Amino acid sequence: MKLVTGIIQPHRLDDVKSALEAAGVRGMTVSEASGYGRQKGHTEVYRGAEYTVDLVPKVRLEVLVDDADAETVTDVIVKAAQTGKIGDGKVWTVPVDDVARVRTGEHGAGAL
Amino acid sequence: MDSALNSGDTAWILTASALVLLMTPGLAFFYGGMVRGKSVLNMMMMSFGAMGVVGVVWVLWGYPMAFGTDVGGLFGNPFDGFGLGNLLAEDPEATLPSMAFVGFQATFAIITVALISGAIADRARFGSWLVFAGVWVTLVYFPVAHWVWASDGWIFKYGAIDFAGGTVVHINAGVAGLVLAILLGKRKGFAKEPMRPHNLPFVMLGAGLLWFGWFGFNAGSALAANNSASVVWVNTLVATCAAMLAWLLTEKLRDGSATSLGAASGVVAGLVAITPSCSAVSPIGAIVVGVVAGVLCALAVGLKYRFGYDDSLDVVGVHLVGGLTGTVLIGFLATADAPAGVDGLLYGGGASQLVIQVVSALAVVAFSFVMTMIIGFVIRATMGFRVSEEAEVGGIDLAVHGETAYENIAQGSVIKEVRS
């Protein structure tokens, strides 16, 4: 199993969600995040005093998938989240040892 | 017994007094929005505290000191009319009851003291601030109000035009703010950590309330419901509009954006500059006053970083610079067609009025600077003026008032028990 994590622009979330649903993904976890990459935040000016705000709002999206689906899901997220501008975010995949469904107690791929 | 009372004038002045009083809560919002969320309550309480102290002091000995029996052109005798018991009966010859004037002028003393608080945001002990408010208004504000507005005052007799308080209110408060900012020292992290205004809608709300109340401040200073008040009203409107646009244009060119904080600041800068000059200029002159004030104040708010004093909310940049601008521009832009009836340099009146304006402004600057320095120094040496570093960093609201403005502000504290 794999955990696909995407850090994306907040305004792309709806499109990414729809695209994942269309690709057959049945669940995901979404949380608010803040951070920066090459984008390096932004600058605000108050009465002439410049403040650099380096952490900008992002959305973190996590999807647990079968090994075979990881690449497809990554591609779906990338395609749906892409605007081509700096600050679009990143998507990465890490292996997952085990998953348990809390309601039934079952383990492994069946719990996905 | 016949009464000369003019009910129209009296109704207007009582109304205007309430308008001006509303400016101080308005100022609390204007300032409160500009500080960080952990000190907004203290910031607002400094304005409300000034209302409490100055209101009582005004009735006890303030009015007699400002407008009572003259002592050498410098101040009124505080013991002659202490407590205002001598003003209860109607004067059959007065068109406006003395008490209406007492009430109107009380609101000016209150807002002047409240204005100073913006220079020492986030770090002043509340008790020390209240003591300062009472002492400063007594030893600085009342004498200057006497100089400029009482018929026996030396600046009044010298011929300076200060219709609603460019010198008495704004230059006076601006200088006092500068002195206190220096005496108390910088906020921890000044010019290093970001101190972003925590609620700009508060700032806009406060600017709106100030503008609304300022019509009472300026047009009420005609002390009658007449043509003079109406001219002043229009000048107060248009100078403020022009100043807001000028501030926005200045920061658009310099910083790249026309900001809401800039709009609110431009409004106040314009109101400050038109305060002394609103009776002396034409509406075109008022637009010039507004534009000059908007640009100069927008540039002046950066001075504190260059000179290293933490005038936190720009009392100097807006009130001192704006007050000087309006006071001095009278010397150039006054027109004899306006209610004040004097021609300035640009209207063929020569330089005499300009000289009077500059000398009067400098006299108030010097007096306010020296007196505030003495008062502030004594309070700092005796009671202490500044909260502990721990209180400042953790938030003065919690440390001094035992409250926080917002749920997520309390740092490191968990409510374990609720007592009732």
- b or e along B188-210 (b: 16 or more beta carbons within 10 Å of the residue's beta carbon)? eebeeeebebbbbebbbbbbebb
Which residues of A are less than 8 Å from B256 in CB distance? Answer: 45
Taking only the tens place, the pLDDT of each residue in A48-68 is 888 887 788 899 999 999 999
B194 in A contact zone (CB under 8 Å): yes
Per-residue model confidence (pLDDT) at position B185: 97
User: How many structural domains does chain A have?
Assistant: 1
B352 in A contact zone (CB under 8 Å): no
Mean pLDDT, to the nearest integer, of B298-313?
94
Of B212, B239, B229, the C-alpha closest to B338 is: B229
B203 in A contact zone (CB under 8 Å): no
pLDDT at B406 over 50: yes
Residue matched to tokens 């003495």: B374
| Enclosing domain of residue A19 | 2-111
Most confident of A55-59, B253-257, B370-374: B370-374
Per-residue model confidence (pLDDT) at position A41: 76
Phi-psi region of A75 (alpha: psi -120 to 50; beta: other; left: phi over 0): alpha
Mean pLDDT over all residues of chain A? Answer: 91
Lowest mean pLDDT among A25-34, B343-352, B405-414: B405-414
Which residues of A are less than 8 Å from B196 in CB distance? Answer: 44, 46, 51
Residue B38 binned pLDDT confidence (cut-offs 50, 70, 90): very high
Global pTM exceeds 0.95: no
Residue A43 binned pLDDT confidence (cut-offs 50, 70, 90): confident
Mean pLDDT over all residues of chain B? Answer: 95
> Looking at beta carbons, which pairs linking B311-314 to residues 24 or more positions away fall under 8 Å?
B311/B118, B311/B119, B311/B177, B311/B178, B311/B181, B312/B35, B312/B118, B312/B119, B312/B120, B312/B121, B312/B122, B312/B181, B312/B187, B312/B195, B313/B31, B313/B34, B313/B35, B313/B118, B313/B119, B313/B121, B314/A47, B314/B118, B314/B265
* Region B7-401: CATH code: 1.10.3430.10
Taking only the tens place, the pLDDT of each residue in B213-244 is 999 999 999 999 999 999 999 999 999 999 99
Taking only the tens place, the pLDDT of each residue in B82-109 is 999 999 999 999 999 999 999 999 999 9
Residue in B197, B256, B298 nearest the CB of A46: B197
B83 in A contact zone (CB under 8 Å): no
CA atoms within 13 A on the CB side of A31: 7
> Looking at beta carbons, which pairs linking B188-192 to residues 24 or more positions away fall under 8 Å?
B188/B389, B188/B392, B188/B393, B190/B310, B191/B305, B191/B308, B191/B310
pLDDT at B415 over 50: no
Taking only the tens place, the pLDDT of each residue in B160-182 is 999 999 999 999 999 999 999 99
B302 vs chain A: nearest CA distance in angstroms? 6
Is the CB of A47 less than 8 angstroms away from the CB of B314?
yes
Q: A41: domain CATH number?
A: 3.30.70.120
Residue matched to tokens 């008032």: B401
B305/B311 Cα distance (integer angstroms): 9
Q: Rounded to 5 degrees, what are φ and ψ at A3?
A: -110, 115
Whether the complex's predicted ipTM is more than 0.85 is answered with: no
pLDDT at B2 over 80: no
